[in-house]
Amino acid sequence: MSQNIHLLSSSTISLPTDLWLPTTSKVKPQNSHQFALGGVYQVNPTFDFSVEGFYKSMDHLLEYKEGASFVGATTGWEDKVEMGKGWSYGLEFLLEKKVGKTTGWLGYTWSKAERQFDNLNWGEKFYARYDRRHDISFVLTHRFSDRFDIGLTWVYGTGNAVTLPTQNVSIPNIPGYYNYQQSYEYFEKRNNYRMPAYNRMDIGFNFHKQKKHGIRTWNIGFYNVYSRQNPFFLMFEGNSPEEREATGKSRSLKQVSLFPIIPSISYSYKF
């Protein structure tokens, strides 16, 4: 496979600030080779079980240079990126039920996604931002009658890999400068920290009615039923010595979440 657009993810902040960038005279197209082998076994007339293994190698991937970002950029973006290679591999399992009033499937994936750049992370391999060791999906639908059914979905995934400093060193005040203090952060390696795992359950209730020229459906749904506070991004509090002195607290890592439980209602008509 080959493609002329590149996904560029920031590793120094945990915000979802991904960019899609084009191939240029300086940036080669990405290419990959993927191998997969799988099989399906019919457990009985109701259940199917499948397993598949895959391996994928990638070339000409993009990552930010050390310390580079698009914030306040005064030069072309091609001068702020490095090109390297990557690998991803894993196993996927799926148990599916297609017959009866109750249908659905349970899927599990174990995988790894690694990167290697000569000028990043001392040339050593590191995990990609979206490396996800465990991924679980559970989908269930039960039809009580032609007029009413319920759908339920639950997902779980290992947290994204992000780069966080392991040390913060402050330089004392310089004589002749009022309240001047410089601090530096030390990063042991790239993508050295895992955000908390993501999990969520959604549920929907569907009310159908046969009309003269079609079927009317009302849906009442709830996103994130148990209001899981999933991480959106991470931030440090108490970054400056003045802030730490004023609050009496040391520097701490804070998780920011966005969506609690969200109800919804919709109407559809099929004809």
Q: Which residue has the higher pLDDT, 57 or 65?
A: 57
- The count of domains in the chain is 1
Give the per-residue pLDDT at 234: 84
Supply the DSSP string of the chain, one letter for each residue: -EESEEEE--SSS-S---EEEE--SSSPPEEEEEEEEEEEEE-SSSEEEEEEEEEEEEEEEEEEPTT--STT--S-GGGGEEEEEEEEEEEEEEEEE-SSSEEEEEEEEEEEEEEE-TTSGGG--EE-TT--SEEEEEEEEEEEETTEEEEEEEEEEPPPEE---SEEEEEPPPTTSTT--EEEEE--STT-EEPPPEEEEEEEEEEEEE-SSSEEEEEEEEESTT-----SEEEEE--SHHHHHHHT---EEEEE-----EEEEEEEEE-
CB neighbours of 123 closer than 8 A, spacing ≥ 6? 116, 117
The answer to pTM > 0.85 is no
231 close to 259: Cβ distance less than 8 angstroms: no
State pLDDT tens for residues 234-248. 888 766 666 666 766
CB neighbours of 253 closer than 8 A, spacing ≥ 6? 164, 234, 235, 236, 237
Range of the domain at 188: 2-270
State pLDDT tens for residues 196-238. 999 999 999 999 999 888 999 999 999 999 999 999 888 887 6
How far apart are alpha carbons 7 and 128 in whole angstroms?
Answer: 12
Residue 54 predicted with pLDDT over 90: yes
Give the per-residue pLDDT at 269: 94
State pLDDT tens for residues 100-134. 999 999 999 999 999 999 999 999 999 998 899 99
